[in-house]
Amino acid sequence: MKISNPCCESIPTPQKAKLDGSSDEGSDLDPVLLVSGMGGSILQTKKKSFGLQTRVWVRLLLADLEFRQKLWSLYNPETGYTESLDDSTEIVVPEDDYGLYAIDILDPSVFVKLIHLTEVYHFHDMIDMLIGCGYKKGTTLFGYGYDFRQSIRIDKLMDGLKEKLEVAYKASGGRKVNIISHSMGGLLVMSFMSLNNDVFLKYVNKWICIACPFQGAPGCINDSLLTGLQFVDGFESFFFVSRWTMHQLLIECPSVYEMLPNPEFQWKKQPEIQVWQKQTKDGDIFVNLESYGPIENVALFEEALRHNELSYGGKKVALPFNLSILKWATGTRQILNKAQLPTGISFYNIFGTSCDTPFDVCYGSETSAIEDLSEVCHTMPQYSYVDGDGTVPAESAKADGFDAVDRVAVSGSHRGLLRDKKVFQLIQNWLGVAVKASNHKITSKVMDAGSR
């Protein structure tokens, strides 16, 4: 075990990978499969009646409107799936470009390219880097995007990952696959490994994990369930999905519950949600700072979200804290806690440092206390910070529990690690490749699917 620390619109027709193992440029390399994380895949809505598709995530123009109409969802405890309130459409992930299109530039519109919004240039730079090292799309380079609203152990996601591994294995002539996962994608791979250990051993050679919340992302996830999430900051946020709109989706997403802080992990300090609460006793008013740990916070979530609702189609839809999802997520955490790395598979872990990362979350203040806990959902939080990548604490990201070949700290932000030169150097070293000399710039082709 080793820890290192280097210095701190029309939609294109899907292409099919070769399955005959024929020789081609880059065929001497073991195939690479890129697996995205939370919010890291393009999602499109498809009309059930005539198949018209529109990109709903990610988009800047008309983002909030499209999000509310097409992506707001409810969890179905009978099926285990989160299902869109708009029952005339279904959510699909584009499979174009061997799965790479969906995880490349998440909003590949002309507008985004003009302002070069790096926040949505997801795996783009890494895809270019790998192509520069000789990897070839459809032979040795593939992507796996998925509906990240769903549980990381739901059948559709597990079957999709298995299919991708099989395609990459066959297309490369029977070479085992090297997985590179980001963020929640690492938990998905970990879940697959635990539930399909024999399949994982058959198809996988190396697994490189980047910025994975192995033990949860306490500050960000706790606050996401209470007040929401702002995916894009700064001026661009005015064009994007609002924090509250995002909040109303996340409450019904099993994947979010599955990233709550692991109560069984031996944290240096237990993560807490703190609330300055106003209480009255015998006519006197008291203000107390109440603290809720990873187990006690369930009672807080229930009370704070008891009146939460949204308006959809002229009707009110109740969205309290979902105990059915919590029960499912608890089962997922048990699966993750028992995951074992099969003998013969090399595991590498890159985690981000040097960024202030939310850990404890506090609502209200001593002079402006919360009287009713439902007020928490309309209160901007204050954080206590720890070292990490701005989203996942380093303590969580490096606690994979596996016998890693290398475990490396890199100074960088959560999404920024996907375009970090030090990360690229590590990946090249671990894969045993290097960028080839070229007289022209390598650019992965990205077309605009559904900017209408």
- Known catalytic residue at 223: no
Secondary structure of residue 60 in the 3-state scheme: coil
pLDDT tens per residue, range 124-183:
999 999 999 999 999 999 999 999 999 999 999 999 999 999 999 999 999 999 999 999
- Known catalytic residue at 389: yes
Q: Residue 358: CA atoms inside 13 Å, Cβ hemisphere, count?
A: 21
pLDDT tens per residue, range 327-337:
999 999 999 99
Of the candidates 96, 104, 360, 389, the residue annotated as catalytic is: 389
In CATH terms, 32-269+306-356+385-431 corresponds, of 3.40.50.1820, 1.20.120.1760, 1.20.1260.10, 3.40.50.300, to 3.40.50.1820
pLDDT tens per residue, range 67-121:
999 999 999 999 999 999 998 899 999 999 999 999 999 999 887 777 777 888 9
Of the candidates 122, 124, 182, 414, the residue annotated as catalytic is: 414
pLDDT tens per residue, range 212-255:
999 999 999 999 999 998 776 665 565 689 999 999 999 999 99
Q: Is 9 exposed, middle or buried (0-12, 13-18, 19+ CB in 10 A)?
A: middle
- Percent of the residues in the chain that have a pLDDT greater than 70, as a whole number: 89
C-beta separation of 9 from 159 below 8 A: no
pLDDT tens per residue, range 377-390:
999 999 999 999 99
Q: Is the confidence at residue 319, as pLDDT, over 70?
A: yes
228: left (phi over 0), alpha (psi -120 to 50) or beta: left
Average pLDDT over residues 311-323: 95
Query: How far is the C-alpha of 84 from the C-alpha of 106, rounded, in Å?
Result: 20
pLDDT tens per residue, range 405-431:
999 999 999 999 999 999 999 999 999
Q: Give the model's confidence band at 283: pLDDT under 50 very low, under 70 low, under 90 confident, else very high.
A: confident
- Percent of the residues in the chain that have a pLDDT greater than 90, as a whole number: 79
Can you give the pLDDT at residue 237? 60
Of the candidates 27, 151, 183, 224, the residue annotated as catalytic is: 183
Query: How far is the C-alpha of 184 from the C-alpha of 181, rounded, in Å?
Result: 8
Q: Give the model's confidence band at 451: pLDDT under 50 very low, under 70 low, under 90 confident, else very high.
A: very low
C-beta separation of 181 from 208 below 8 A: yes
Query: How far is the C-alpha of 343 from the C-alpha of 176, rounded, in Å?
Result: 14
Instruction: Say which DSSP state 370 is in.
Output: B
Q: Give the model's confidence band at 302: pLDDT under 50 very low, under 70 low, under 90 confident, else very high.
A: very high
Residue type (1 letter), 11: I
Average pLDDT over residues 47-58: 87
In the chain, domain spans: 32-269+306-356+385-431
10, two tokens: 């029309």
Can you give the pLDDT at residue 118? 80
Residue type (1 letter), 262: N
- Known catalytic residue at 183: yes
Task: Tell me which of 418 and 51 has the higher pLDDT.
Answer: 418
Q: Whose structure tokens read 């619109």?
A: 9
Q: How far apart are the first and last CA of the chain?
A: 50
| The pairing of beta strand 141-144 with beta strand 309-312 | unpaired
Can you give the pLDDT at residue 235? 55
* Mean of the per-residue pLDDT values of the chain: 90
Instruction: Say which DSSP state 13 is in.
Output: P
Q: Give the model's confidence band at 443: pLDDT under 50 very low, under 70 low, under 90 confident, else very high.
A: very low
Distances, alpha carbon 225 to alpha carbons 69, 215, 228, 302, 372, in Å: 20, 17, 6, 11, 17
Q: Whose structure tokens read 């500050």?
A: 219
pTM to 2 decimal places: 0.90
**Which residues are CB-contacts of 386 (< 8 A; sequence separation ≥ 6)?**
357, 359, 393, 394, 395
Which residues are bridge partners to 177 per DSSP?
204
C-beta separation of 356 from 277 below 8 A: no
Query: How far is the C-alpha of 42 from the C-alpha of 11, rounded, in Å?
Result: 12
366, two tokens: 């001593």
